[in-house]
A and B are shown apart, each in its own frame.
Chain A
Amino acid sequence: DTGVSQDPRHKITKRGQNVTFRCDPISEHNRLYWYRQTLGQGPEFLTYFQNEAQLEKSRLLSDRFSAERPKGSFSTLEIQRTEQGDSAMYLCASSQGTSGTNIQYFGAGTRLSVL
């Protein structure tokens, strides 16, 4: 068990470009979450999956954002036509999803800088 893994750790892109981040959850965790954290703020929820089903999306997740978890294992978060306001740390978390033990374990995050 290597924990939640995110790739890349850092991404620098130019405004208008598309970027994709990957998250590998802890094995046997069926729930996967994406959060966004800007400087000086706590993480804000974006979306979550139970297995391959996307069950909840925040209003923060504009049409330019899309997340997938095709086989119920790893997940990708894509941002199209990036804007400077998208610069943030994107955090992934996973949980076992068992009632009463739904503790979310976080990855180290992907820091996105949009120039």
Chain B
Amino acid sequence: AQTVTQSQPEMSVQEAETVTLSCTYDTSESDYYLFWYKQPPSRQMILVIRQEAYKQQNATENRFSVNFQKAAKSFSLKISDSQLGDAAMYFCAHQGGSEKLVFGKGTKLTVNP
């Protein structure tokens, strides 16, 4: 069974600075997807970025980028130029052959002005 581990329950960053959120996963599958979702307080989960395991190039979306290390089963999220609106719970998730997403426990990100 797949597992996803987020070892940082909470992180904080100063506005305009850069922060990296960690995620490791375990899977026996060779073909899978990895995701970072953002969940603001009392609001719905929003996709931040997606990585296909067969692609070696790290995904980027504007200020968000990932460091995907397939052999190490590591998938960290880097947020550059942090903004107040980035404050939220961030969840790392894995999707293999089954349709279901397997989520980590989340990291609460605080952005300080």
Contacts and interface: CB of A to CB of B under 8 A. Distances in A.
Contacts of B100: 33, 45, 48, 56, 58
- Place the interface of chain A in its size category: 20 to 34
A18 interface: no
A55 B43 contact: no
A25 interface: no
A22 interface: no
Interface in B24-70: 33, 37, 43-47, 50
Interface residues of B, number: 21
Nearest to B46: A106
Given A107-B44, A108-B43, A43 B101 contact: yes
B22 interface: no
Contacts of B33: 102
A56 B45 contact: no
A65 interface: no
A40 interface: yes
Given A91-B45, A109-B44, A56 B98 contact: yes
Contact of B105 (A41, A102, A104): A41
Nearest to A50: B99
A105 to B, nearest CB: 7
A106 B45 contact: yes
Interface string A52-95: 00011010000000000000000000000000000000010101
Interface of B: 4, 33, 37, 43-47, 50, 91, 93, 95, 98-106
Given A42-B104, A45-B101, 9 more contacts: A43-B91, A44-B103, A45-B100, A48-B99, A55-B99, A102-B95, A106-B37, A106-B45, A107-B44
Interface of A: 3-4, 31, 33, 35, 40-45, 48, 55-56, 58, 91, 93, 95, 102-109
3 closest A-B pairs by CB? A42-B103, A45-B100, A106-B45
